[in-house]
DNA sequence: ATCGGTGCAAATCCTTTGCATTTCC
DNA sequence: GGAAATGCAAAGGATTTGCACCGAT
């Protein structure tokens, strides 16, 4: 992904102009207004590439996982092996002053590379 | 989902016994060792139900969304309208003392009901 | 001209759902 | 017995991928 194509420019420009946190589908539908022939596959490929380069963030990744442990805790996700570790230390997030609405729960995800994969 | 079936008991027991944050598929494969006839559909239905009741947590939900804004910030997700709001206030998470590995990034998700939906 | 990127369509993976059957209370 | 949950299989939605063609360098 070294070439700076119209498709990439358009998607980048769109993502930087917007505050709506669009899905891949929404990106596709919007960008298609400018580039009627762009395909969903291309949008997925470009988003994946941007994400890998760190040009954009992805909110929610990989497949859903389930946790039967209800004690409040965070997760450390190894981006290499996808293993998830529990972090029971307190994070001092202030749940009580949010102007957008009433917070009922919060989840913290830390991404990185675990000790094993880091060797 | 009022009845306490074998399927539910087995899935609940499994999730409480394990620290691996399994996917729905993994739950299915594991539980099938005890209940060879259980179907994936049932596993999905039961997990969804447990989650709704608050008996388990789901790590990562809904479809991936993308964010071109790289300034560090958190997200507030309205569980009614699924709208995502940006929170630029600092959360004081300590990135620098994690025993599992090296943290390269973190994401904080707040769930709740936004002001508009709360009316 | 080259070869990386795109468009298209098929394939794959994940999740949901309709319906007949089974099972719990 | 009757409502509710399950199993099955098909459908639906998201994402990936193979391949022939196109276009940026």
Place of tokens 């997925």: A44
- From CA B37, how far away is CA A109, in angstroms rounded? 35
The pLDDT value given to residue A22: 82
pLDDT in tens, B68-112: 555 666 667 665 565 667 677 655 555 556 777 777 666 677 766
Token representation of residue B49: 């139900």
- From CA B90, how far away is CA B73, in angstroms rounded? 8
Of A31-45, B3-17, B60-74, give the lowest mean pLDDT range: B60-74
Nearest Cβ partner for B21 among A66, A87, A115: A66
The pLDDT value given to residue B93: 52
Q: Does domain B6-67 correspond to CATH entry 1.25.40.850?
A: no
The pLDDT value given to residue B62: 47
Intervals of CATH 3.30.1490 along chain A: 74-118
Neighbours of B52 (CB within 10 A): 10
CA B45 to chain centre: 15
Contact at 8 Å (CB) between B86 and B70?
no
- From CA A58, how far away is CA A21, in angstroms rounded? 9
Mean pLDDT for the stretch of residues B46-75 = 70
Q: Is the dihedral of CA A90, B86, A60, A45 positive or negative?
A: negative
The pLDDT value given to residue A75: 63
119 residues of chain A, pLDDT tens digit each? 778 999 999 999 988 888 778 888 888 999 999 999 999 999 889 988 888 887 887 776 545 556 555 566 666 766 556 566 767 765 555 555 677 777 766 677 776 777 777 77
Distance from CA of B90 to the nearest CA of A (A): 9
- From CA A58, how far away is CA A43, in angstroms rounded? 14
Contact at 8 Å (CB) between A81 and A46?
no
| 3-state DSSP percent of chain A in helix, strand and coil, to 5 | 30, 25, 45
A2: the nucleotide nearest its CA (via C1') is C4
- Contact flag, residue B82 CB and nucleic strand D, below 7 A: no
Q: How far is the CA of B83 from the C1' of C5 (A)?
A: 33
Residues 6 or more apart whose CB falls under 8 angstroms from that of B26 comprise B20
Contact at 8 Å (CB) between A47 and A26?
no
Contact B112 A98 (CB under 8 A): yes
Contact B15 A67 (CB under 8 A): yes
- Contact flag, residue A9 CB and nucleic strand D, below 7 A: no
Intervals of CATH 1.10.10.10 along chain A: 6-67
Token representation of residue A3: 């070439």
Going by DSSP bridges, is the β-strand pair A74-78/A101-114 parallel, antiparallel, or unpaired? parallel
Q: How far is the CA of A8 from the C1' of C18 (A)?
A: 42
- Contact flag, residue A64 CB and nucleic strand C, below 7 A: yes
Contact A66 B87 (CB under 8 A): no
Domain range B74-118, its CATH number among 1.20.1260, 3.30.1240, 3.30.1490, 3.40.190: 3.30.1490
Which of B68 and B117 is assigned the larger pLDDT? B117
Token representation of residue A96: 């009580």
């Amino acid at each position: 992904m070294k070439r700076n194509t119209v498709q990439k420019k358009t998607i980048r420009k769109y993502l930087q102009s917007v505050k709506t946190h669009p899905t891949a589908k929404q990106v596709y539908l919007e960008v298609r207004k400018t580039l009627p022939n762009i395909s969903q596959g291309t949008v997925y490929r470009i988003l994946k590439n941007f994400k890998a380069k760190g040009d954009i963030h992805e909110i929610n990744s990989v497949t859903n996982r389930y946790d039967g442990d209800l004690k409040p805790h965070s997760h450390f996700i190894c981006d290499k092996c996808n293993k998830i570790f529990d972090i029971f230390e307190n994070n001092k997030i202030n749940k009580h002053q949010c102007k957008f609405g009433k917070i009922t729960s919060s989840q913290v995800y830390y991404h990185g590379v675990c000790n094993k994969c880091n060797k």
